[in-house]
Amino acid sequence: MTTTGNNLEVVNNQELNLYYTQLFKGRGGWNIICEVVLGKGDGYVGGATKTFTTYTTDTLFIDLISDLKADDASSDQIQREYHEHFYYKIEDSIAEWLDGLAENIQEN
């Protein structure tokens, strides 16, 4: 598993710190794993975390990441590549998770 830098996203007035990793699954496939950590926001418990995973066989992307690492690219630059390529695949799941957290807070 390889850990990159972090990225900041804001969803429903909630800051989210995103940390991407990759895990080789065999036969040319990779799991792209995104750990989401809640930051400042409206009514959520800061520091709560959840991991989201998507699968890819995009070897050109994996080669790009390998090339960036070989060229000593910053972790932030590598992070941006992960984010640009994969955030859209987990965006709805993150929003659903936040909605569930908001419902739990309102119930208590």
Tens digit of each residue's pLDDT, the chain (108 residues): 344 445 767 776 778 889 999 999 988 899 999 999 887 665 566 678 899 999 999 999 999 999 999 999 998 999 999 999 999 999 999 989 888 887 776 665
Q: Output the CA–CA distances (angstroms, integers) from residue 83 to 75, 104, 105, in the order listed.
A: 12, 28, 29
Please name which of 19, 12, 47 lies closest in space to residue 33, comparing C-alpha atoms: 19
* Nearby residues of 65 by Cβ (< 8 Å), 6 or more positions away: 2, 22, 78, 81, 82
Rounded to two decimals, what is the model's pTM? 0.81
